[in-house]
Amino acid sequence: MLFEITDRPPTARLRCGAAGCQAVYVLPQGRPLAATHSLAQDAGWTWRAGSGLVCPAHPHPATIPVTHTPATHTQGDTHVRQPALHRPQHDGLPAGGPGSDGRWRRPALAGTPPLTLGVIVPAYNEAASLPDTLACLLRQTVPVQQIIVVDDGSTDRTAEVAAAFPGVTVLTTPTNTGSKAKAQNYALGFVRTDLVLTLDADTVLADDYVELIKEPFADERVTIAAGAVQARFARTATERGRQIEYLLGFSFSRAVQAKVNAPAVCSGCCSVFRVSVLKAAGGLPEGTVTEDLDYTWTQQLSGARAVYVGAAVCWAIEPPSIGDMRKQTWRWMAGYVQCVRKHAPRMVRRKKWLALWTALALFDMAVTPLWWLWALGAALLGGLGTTLLIVGGELMVMLPILGLAVRRHSLNPWRVLANIPFVYVNRAINGYYAWKALAVELALVPLGLSSGLTVFEKGRSQVPAAAGVAS
């Protein structure tokens, strides 16, 4: 089912999902975009499993179902069909299908209607990585009720690839919106579920991710939740360094933050939101370049709960080159300080644990680069003992955490150990952009000497189609 927004003021066209049918439903002028599906049904369009909405020429008695049943593709080209029902490729994904862990699944409470969940996948030139992302949604142990792909001005086959998957609605924007938050907000009006998962087009979920991530929302105070992110590949220096950073951060830092009910951030590549609250807030924040951090803090400062679900795991493709890592790191660092400027005064009064994490992060951004410059200077000036003492002290802290992560995620311990040296490549990049962010966003912007970072750039230039599991 392909949904196109053709101009501004927006006029929507809904294409028939039946194979070979060219029928199009055109939204009447002046009617809201969010009403397109309901108006089409009033005009005789009906829902068909595996095809979506079909025109009156293909009558079907079914109404819109509560869930979609994963189905084998019957149309579309080979590039789209081949990975659809196969496990996507990445490092560290255990073998086996849904339920292969043998875990007992907690039944739903009698008389309690389950919360429905939809998915928004913003995509800009993601034709290569999108099939694995959509395929993982079809394998979930608890099915999702709606999948929307936002083709955000792509110049490749992103829309065509997405439309070939059963039950997927494709929104095509007239031009690139300029940021992930704007693309997600573009689709928010079409979401008809209780919860919505915003999923990056290069990220794949564990088969039980949706099942696990929905559980905290039984508490009505919870408005946002996210799971643990791992590096999907560990081939280049930056990817291998990022694997270590994620294992340390999600196995220790996030777990500690969760214990005191104050997660520092719910990762934007895999967060789930309570739709009513998100719509009431006007969507995801567009005023900073880290909308996930901004919204996580906003919700906690308003008295709502944000939850980290460590058992729910996803894998994201990380920047494969130093150039790509620099773009992503600059956005993350600048966005962090932007959120500090925006929320710090209220944070101290309303969420002291969150204020503590923020103070520690700012201290780390300011001081840690000096620590490693001292270690490097000592090595260059002959004080190798000082350097070894600094590195050895960090390894004493790092290795137990990595050991716990290796066991929890069933990783190859020798590969993880081999990747430790590469974390220092990323730390050099982190240190430079941490200082730049503090100087620009915390000093120059308030003084009116800079506008700060306002352009959203992807952390990678191109994702090649995976041809095998990386070593």
Q: What residues have CB less than 8 Å from 346, skipping those under 6 apart?
A: 301
Query: CATH 3.90.550.10 region(s) of the chain?
Result: 111-464
Q: What is the DSSP letter of 79?
A: H
Q: What is the dihedral of CA 100, 101, 103, 105, to 10 degrees?
A: -50
So what's the pLDDT on residue 78? 24
CB 460 within 8 A of CB 324: yes
Q: Which helix (H) or strand (E) holds 65?
A: none
Between 137 and 96, where is the model more confident?
137
What gap in Å lies between CA 332 and CA 430, rounded to an integer? 10
pLDDT tens column, 71-83? 333 232 222 323 3
So what's the pLDDT on residue 58? 76
Tell me the two tokens of residue 317. 């493709």
Lowest mean pLDDT among 13-17, 144-148, 368-372, 450-454: 13-17
Between 21 and 14, where is the model more confident?
21
Between 49 and 371, where is the model more confident?
371
Between 143 and 42, where is the model more confident?
143
Asked if residue 426 has pLDDT above 50, the reply is yes
So what's the pLDDT on residue 54? 75
Q: What is the chain's percent helix, strand, coil content, to nearest 5?
A: 45, 15, 40
So what's the pLDDT on residue 457? 81
Q: Is 13 helix (H, G, I), strand (E, B) or coil?
A: strand
Q: Which helix (H) or strand (E) holds 288?
A: none
So what's the pLDDT on residue 465? 42
Asked if residue 5 has pLDDT above 50, the reply is no
Tell me the two tokens of residue 26. 């055109």
Q: How confident is the model at residue 113 (pLDDT cuts 50, 70, 90)?
A: confident
The arithmetic mean of pLDDT across residues 417-446, rounded, is 96
So what's the pLDDT on residue 52? 59
Q: How confident is the model at residue 38 (pLDDT cuts 50, 70, 90)?
A: low
Strand ranges in 58-145 using DSSP code E only, listed in sequence order: 117-123
Residue 191 CB-density burial (10 A; 0-12 exposed, 13-18 middle, 19+ buried): buried
So what's the pLDDT on residue 356? 96
What DSSP line would sit under 368-422, residue for residue?
Answer: HHHHHHHHHHHHHTT-HHHHHHHHHHHHHHHHHHHHHHHHHHT--HHHHHHHGGG
pLDDT above 90 covers a percentage of the chain that reads 67
Q: How confident is the model at residue 192 (pLDDT cuts 50, 70, 90)?
A: very high
Q: What is the DSSP letter of 215?
A: G
Asked if residue 114 has pLDDT above 70, the reply is yes
Q: Is 46 helix (H, G, I), strand (E, B) or coil?
A: strand
pLDDT tens column, 331-346? 999 999 999 999 999 9
pLDDT tens column, 275-334? 999 999 999 999 999 999 999 999 999 999 999 999 999 999 999 999 999 999 999 999
So what's the pLDDT on residue 376? 87
Asked if residue 47 has pLDDT above 80, the reply is no
Tell me the two tokens of residue 391. 């590195």
Is the omega angle on the peptide bond into residue 9 within 30 degrees of 0, that is, cis? yes
The arithmetic mean of pLDDT across residues 234-252, rounded, is 96
Asked if residue 185 has pLDDT above 90, the reply is yes
CB 281 within 8 A of CB 457: no
**What CATH superfamily classification does 111-464 receive?**
Spore Coat Polysaccharide Biosynthesis Protein SpsA; Chain A (3.90.550.10)
So what's the pLDDT on residue 74? 29
What gap in Å lies between CA 142 and CA 289, rounded to an integer? 32
Asked if residue 90 has pLDDT above 70, the reply is no
Asked if residue 103 has pLDDT above 50, the reply is no
Q: What is the dihedral of CA 72, 74, 76, 77, to 10 degrees?
A: 80
Asked if residue 102 has pLDDT above 50, the reply is no
Q: How confident is the model at residue 23 (pLDDT cuts 50, 70, 90)?
A: confident
The chain-wide mean pLDDT, for the chain, equals 83
So what's the pLDDT on residue 72? 30
Q: Is 325 helix (H, G, I), strand (E, B) or coil?
A: helix
pLDDT tens column, 363-388? 999 999 998 898 888 888 888 888 89
User: For residue 446, what are the CA distances in angstroms to 145, 293, 443?
Assistant: 45, 20, 6
Q: Is 438 helix (H, G, I), strand (E, B) or coil?
A: helix
CB 118 within 8 A of CB 146: yes
H runs (alpha helix) in 221-321: 237-248, 254-259, 275-280, 291-301
CB 51 within 8 A of CB 40: no
